[in-house]
Structure formats: structure tokens, C-alpha cells
Chain A
Amino acid sequence: MSEITLTDANFKIEVLDSEMAVLADFWAPWCGPCQMVGPIVAAIAKEYEGKIKVGKLNVDENPVTASEYGIMSIPTIKIFKRGKIVEEMVGVQPAIAITQKIDKVLAE
């Protein structure tokens, strides 16, 4: 499955109420480093299909959610499990750093 688009409107349903763990990528179009994370997250969405839900939230278009989660730096990746943040990463990460965190979350 490819990534889903997260918004202020669907964040509760798609992320907080999700049965499956969710990886949320907070990004914006003007942020160069965010563009680097894009393809990595897309590949993870394919690789972890059925195990974790992967979504992208444009902080410019969805300021309510970005502000609620205190986003002050992008790219930021947060992993949610049963509505709670269990992992977070700020800045560009190599794929393996992200998948190690996912594996840890899935093993718990």
C-alpha cells in the first residue's frame, strides 16, 4: 500500500483511532531535507504493507495537528501506537534507522 495523506480532519480516525501502528511523516514542500525522506517513507510503506500504516502530513496545510504535536522542526517522523507516540525522529534518517524503530515497535 502506498502512503495515505493525513490532514487535520482525518488525523483522529486514521492515526489516533487506528488499530494498526501508524508512522506519520510531518513535512512541507519547501523543505529540502523532507524531499529526501519522501522516497524512503514510500519504500517503507510498501515493505511494511499490512504491518504498519504510513501517512504524510503537510504541516503547512494542516497547522492544527502540527501545532498540537509541537512540531518545531521538519522532517519529523512519529510512530503512533493506540493513539500514543512511541517513537520520534527529527531530521533526515537513513532507511535503516527508521526500519529499526518500526521493528522495535512491532515487536513490543
Chain B
Amino acid sequence: MIYDLIILGAGPAGLAASIYASYHKLSHLVIGDIIGGTATEAVKIKNWPGTEMISGVELMQKFQYHAEGLGGKIVQAKIAGLKKGEEYFEINTNSENYQAKAILVALGTRRRKMNIPGEDKFLGKGVSYCATCDSMFFKNKTVSVVGGGNSAAMAASLLAEHASKVFLIYRGAELRCEPATVDQLKANSKISIIYNTNVLEVNGDKKVESIILDNDYQDSKILKVDGIFVEIGAMPSSDLLNELGVKLNEQGYVAVDQWGKTNVSGVYAAGDIISNTPGFNQIITASADGATAINAVYKYLKEVRK
């Protein structure tokens, strides 16, 4: 079957787009590897209008049920390749191939890794990307957090509730998080902030035992820690779009017009992956992007591809 539209990504943008696509009577499919996307990592969401507080998992389940209830089909799979054929786009997953007249790219962002020796080897053995999930495993231990933004600050504060010592390591001279948060960190006796420093290596035997810094801290480049939490931001998951010739900005975000249209005919984009509000990463803006793009896709299919 050839779909009118295939939505790549099943986070807030992709699922909201599916809801709008159903109301526009577009035959469509949503393909994503994590249903709900990065929004599922949010423990408490307090800014989704109409709902005072809800967990990310719960809200995204509501999105999913809403989309499916209207007839949207969601396939859980990782996208392996994208191609523009003579008439249709071809989307390959690791198990099947699909065809569509138009695609909406809502692949979001993924966590930036440090790309240093030991990072992959010790994943789950002291290297973590989720302080909410893993802080309890570091009771009375020494941990480090890498990063200087709000998520790094939140991770450091949370870890200080369990760990005996938290080193917040940042490459810059001044933290990027909100000023009130900086004061809180500085007031916490368990937290020490190490500025102007990068982590070069993660070492240990069966689990993390130390990290290597590029500057001396208390006369040593070796810092003994039991864990390292990586909170250095996110990057757009736009690698697959090169094959289609989709224009990206310098940071790799997809360049779109106000309706979510890219430079390639039939290719639209929405959510955290687009260039309009990079780093804002809100469920409400991603949902709006998804809805807006469907309006443009609908017009394209009606007027250009009738």
C-alpha cells in the first residue's frame, strides 16, 4: 500500500500530527522506536495546559491512545533508511519497507554523548544518562555530573540527595543554568563545581572507578568517582536526511518554513528536530508543529499530488 503520509517519529510532534492527519483523512502511518519519544523521560509535567500535573509516560500514552483511537497506525521500529524514488518516498526499517507520497520528519533529538574512551564500556556500570532513573544506586557514593545547563544542575541536586559527594564538571567558566539554580548548587555543601574542565576518559575494572580530567583538580587529573552522569544537551536526529538532500542548519536542525515545509518537495518536519526553536524542546510546541505541518501536507497532497 502507498500511504499519503508517513510520519517518522512517535513523540509529541508525530502523534499530534497523526491526530490531525486522521481528521484530514490522510492515510498514514507513524513509525518510531520509542512511542512517546523523549517526553517519556519527564517525571512530572506541569505545563501541559488543562492538566495541572501528569507524568511524561502517562501523557504520551494518552497521545498514543488518542491517535490510535482515530485510526492512526503506529509501528514501533527503528528507521534504517530513506529514499526518494521516482514517485514515492521509500522508508526502510530493520524489518519492513514502506512507501508514501509525503513524509513528515519528527525524529526529535537524542542525548549528546561525550564520545570518550570508557563511555560505552561502562554504560550501566556507572555511566548514566538519566539521573532520575539511577540516582538511588549511588547512595553514599561519589559521583560526577558533566554539563552546565539546567538538566546538569537538576541532576546534581537530585544526586546530592543520595550520594555523599557530587562533582559538577563544566567546560565553561560560568554555568548556563538559571541564576537561582546556581545559588542553590553553591549552597549545597555536598556539591563542588569544577569549571573550565573536560572529562577525557572513564576508567575502572568492572565498573567506573575514576575519570581523567584535562585540568588539575586538587593537584590531580584523576578524580575518583563511582558514577558519571552525562547531561551535555541534545542533538537533532537528522543524519538520515542527508540522503534526501534536506537542508539542515549549522547545528544539524532541519530548516523549515513556518508551515514545517523543507526545501525538498513532499518532505515536512516538526518538533524538536526543526530549526525554529532549537533547544526549547516543549511538548506543546512540538505538538503545534505537528498540527501545523499536517495542514501543509494536506494542501500539498490536494494541490500538487492530486
Across the interface, name the chain B residue whose C-beta is closest to A60: B136
Q: Are B43 and A28 neighbours in the complex by a CB distance under 8 Å?
A: no
Q: How far is the CA of A91 from the CA of B36 in the complex (A)?
A: 15
Q: When the two chains form the complex, which single residue of B41, B127, B136 contacts A32, counting CB atoms closer than 8 Å?
A: B41
Asked if A42 is an interface residue, CB under 8 A from chain B, the answer is no
Known contacts A32-B42, A91-B123: does B57 contact A73 (CB below 8 Å)?
Answer: no
- Complex contacts, B57 vs chain A, CB 8 Å: 32, 35-36
Q: Are A73 and B77 neighbours in the complex by a CB distance under 8 Å?
A: no
Q: Are B128 and A73 neighbours in the complex by a CB distance under 8 Å?
A: yes
As a 0/1 sequence over residues 43 to 67 of chain A, the CB contacts with chain B under 8 angstroms (1 = contact) are 0000000000000000110000010
Partner-A contacts on B (CB < 8 A): 33-36, 40-43, 55-57, 76-78, 94-95, 123-130, 132-134, 136-138, 206-207, 227
**B interface secondary structure, majority:** loop
Q: Are A94 and B40 neighbours in the complex by a CB distance under 8 Å?
A: no
Q: Are B43 and A32 neighbours in the complex by a CB distance under 8 Å?
A: yes
> What is the total of A-B residue contacts with beta carbons within 8 Å?
80
Q: How large is the interface on A (under 10, 10 to 19, 20 to 34, 35 or more residues)?
A: 20 to 34
Q: Are A73 and B124 neighbours in the complex by a CB distance under 8 Å?
A: yes
Q: When the two chains form the complex, which single residue of A34, A74, A90, A96 contacts B77, counting CB atoms closer than 8 Å?
A: A96
Across the interface, name the chain B residue whose C-beta is closest to A37: B34
Asked if A92 is an interface residue, CB under 8 A from chain B, the answer is yes
Give me 19 other A-B pairs in contact (C-beta within 8 A), A32-B56, A70-B206 excluded: A28-B136, A30-B43, A30-B132, A31-B130, A32-B57, A32-B132, A71-B124, A72-B126, A72-B128, A72-B134, A73-B123, A73-B134, A74-B133, A88-B124, A90-B123, A90-B124, A94-B76, A95-B76, A96-B95
Q: Are A32 and B55 neighbours in the complex by a CB distance under 8 Å?
A: yes
**Closest chain A CB from B225 CB (angstroms):** 12
Known contacts A36-B36, A73-B128: does B94 contact A28 (CB below 8 Å)?
Answer: no
**Closest chain A CB from B82 CB (angstroms):** 18
Q: When the two chains form the complex, which single residue of B40, B78, B137 contacts A36, counting CB atoms closer than 8 Å?
A: B40
Q: Are B40 and A33 neighbours in the complex by a CB distance under 8 Å?
A: yes
Q: Are A96 and B133 neighbours in the complex by a CB distance under 8 Å?
A: no
Known contacts A35-B57, A96-B95: does B78 contact A70 (CB below 8 Å)?
Answer: no
Known contacts A91-B123, A94-B76: does B133 contact A32 (CB below 8 Å)?
Answer: yes
**Closest chain B CB from A37 CB (angstroms):** 10
Q: How far is the CA of A42 from the CA of B49 in the complex (A)?
A: 32
Provide a sorted-by-A list of 16 A–B residue pairs whose CB atoms are within 8 angstroms. Answer: A32-B42, A32-B132, A33-B130, A35-B57, A36-B35, A36-B40, A40-B76, A59-B136, A66-B137, A73-B123, A74-B133, A74-B134, A92-B34, A94-B33, A94-B77, A96-B95
